[in-house]
Chain A
C-alpha cells in the first residue's frame, strides 16, 4: 500500500519533470526560430527562397547574398552594399562609448566619494534624462546640430549618444562606487593623494567589472539605435540600422529576401558576438539599468 503510494508519487513527479523540460525546450525552439530562419535564408539563392521551404537548410549553400549585402546591394541611389554604413556605425560607437563611459566613471566617483549637499537631486535629475521619450528633444537637437555645423555627420551622432548616455553610465558607476569602502579613500587622502590620483590609482584599478558592464550596455544601445540615426544622419553618414531599414523597405525592384536577411545578420553580429562572449555582463547591465538600487 505504502509502496504503491510512493510509486505513484514518483510517477507524478517524473511526469511533472518531463512536462517542465518539454515546455522549456519548446519555448527555446520558438525563441531560436526567427534567428534560424534568418541564417538559413541568408545562405540560399533567391530561387530557393521563393520555391523552397522557409525552415529547411539551403540546398545550394551560397554566400552570394552576404557578399551582395556587404558590397553591391542598392540602398537609395548607390549600390555599394552596407559596408560603408557598417563602418559609420563603428566610427560612431567607439568614441561615443569611450567618452560616455569615462564621463560616467568620473561622475559616479564625485557623486559617491566627494558628496556635496544636493548630490541626490543632481543624480535624480541626471537619471531622469535616461527615461525621457527622445521625441521630446528631436527638433531642438536637430536645430542645434545644424547651428553647430555637425548635422548629418558622425561627429553629431557621437555627441548625441554621449549626451543621452550620460545618465546610464553615471548610474552604473555611482551604484558600483557606492559599495567601495570609504576607508581606503580616507587613507589615501591622509597620504596626500589628490582627487585624480585617488581616482586613477585606487578606484579605477578595481572598476574592471563595471567598466565591462557599462561598455557593453552602451555599445549595444548605441549600435542598435535607430531614432537618432534616422533623425540626425539620414544620408551618407547614416549608421547600420538606418541602412538596413532602407534596404529592406525600398520598394523598387525584386525583393531579395536572402540579401535582406544577410544584411540583418551583419547588423546583428556585433551585438550578438558581444552577447555570446560576455552575456553575463550584458545581463548585469540590463538589470542595473532597469532596477537601480
Chain B
C-alpha cells in the first residue's frame, strides 16, 4: 500500500521531470554547440588577449607585462611592411575584383547563349585551395620557365616578367593570383543581383529613351548596392585573413617583401619566439575585422527581424 503510493508519487515526480526535460530539450540540444562557441571562440579570444599583455616568448608565460607587446609590435619595421602590403593588396584586390566581377556580370547578362558554359569557367578557381592556386601561379609566373619563356619562344625576346623574385613587384603577383581566384565569385554575386532587379523598372526607362550606358549608370548599378556591400565585406575579410596564398606563392618573400599581418602573426608566434607580439598582432587583426563585420551582422540581423 505504502509502496504503491510512493511508486505513483515518484512516478508523478519523474513524469514532471520528464515534462520539464522535454520543455528544455531544444535548449539542451543547442547547448553543446553554444558551449563550444563560447569556449573556443570567445574564451580563446580572451586567452589571446591575455597573452598579448603577457611576457610570453617561446611558450605562454602568464606574467603581466602591460602594453609591452603592443609597444614592441608597433616598433617592428616588419609590421609596417605587413600593414603597407595589406593596404596595397587589399585595395587592389577588392577594387579590381569588384570592377572585373561587375563587368563580367553585366556582359553575361546580355542574353548570352553560352552563359551556361562561361559562368562555371569564371567560377571554378573558387573551388580550389589557395595552396593549389599558389602552386599553379608560381609555375605560371616562374621567371625563366613560365610565361616569360612563352613570350620569348613567340619571338618577343625582350619580354621580362620576374615579379615573383622582385621585392618591389612580388606583392602584385599575389594580387593577380587572388583576383583570378575570387573574381568569378564576385561576378556570381553581381549576376544574382542583376537577375533580381525589377524588369518593369528597366522597361520603363527604356521607353523613356534612356541609353544603355545611362540605364546602367542611373538605374541598374544603384540597385546593386546590396551586392556591392556583400562583395566588399567578403573580400575585405578574405584579404585580412590572407595567409595560404602568400605561403604558397612567395613564402612571404623575397626577403619580407610580401609579409602580411597573417604571415607576420604566424612567424612571430611560432618561429621567432615572440608569442606576445604575435598575439598582439592577432588582436589587431581581430579588431580590424570586427570593425567591418560587426556593423554588417548587426544591421543584417536587425533587418531580418523587422521583416517578420
| Interfacial residues, chain A to chain B (CB-CB below 8 A) | 17, 20-21, 23-25, 27-28, 30-35, 37-38, 41, 49-50, 53-55, 103, 106-107, 110-111, 114, 116, 120, 122-129, 131-141, 143, 163-164, 166-167, 170, 194-196, 220, 223-227, 230-231, 241, 244-245, 248-249, 257, 260-261, 263-264, 267-268, 271-272, 274-275, 279, 282-283, 286-287, 290-293
| Interfacial residues, chain B to chain A (CB-CB below 8 A) | 22, 25-27, 29-30, 32-34, 36-38, 40-45, 47-48, 51, 60, 104, 107-108, 110, 112, 117-118, 120-133, 135-140, 142, 145-147, 149-150, 153, 180, 184-185, 188-189, 192, 226, 230-231, 233-234, 237, 240-241, 243-244, 247-248, 251, 261-262, 265-266, 269-270, 275, 278-279, 281-283, 285-286, 289, 293-294, 297-298, 300-301, 303-305
Contact of B128 among A33, A139, A268 (CB under 8 A): A268
Which chain A positions have C-beta within 8 A of B128?
224, 268, 271-272
Q: Is the CB of B124 within 8 A of A124?
A: no
Distance of B173 from chain A, by nearest CB (Å) = 12
Task: Report the number of A-B residue pairs with Cβ-Cβ less than 8 Å.
Answer: 258
Q: Is the CB of B48 within 8 A of A163?
A: no
Distance of B60 from chain A, by nearest CB (Å) = 7
Q: Is the CB of B129 within 8 A of A226?
A: yes
Known contacts A107-B33, A124-B298; can you find 16 more A-B pairs with CB under 8 A?
Answer: A107-B30, A116-B26, A127-B297, A132-B45, A135-B262, A137-B40, A139-B51, A140-B48, A195-B22, A224-B130, A226-B247, A244-B135, A248-B135, A261-B139, A290-B230, A292-B300
Distance of B211 from chain A, by nearest CB (Å) = 12
Residue in chain B with minimal CB distance to A128? B297
5 A-B pairs (CB sep. < 8 Å): A27-B104, A106-B30, A126-B37, A133-B289, A244-B132
Distance of B74 from chain A, by nearest CB (Å) = 17
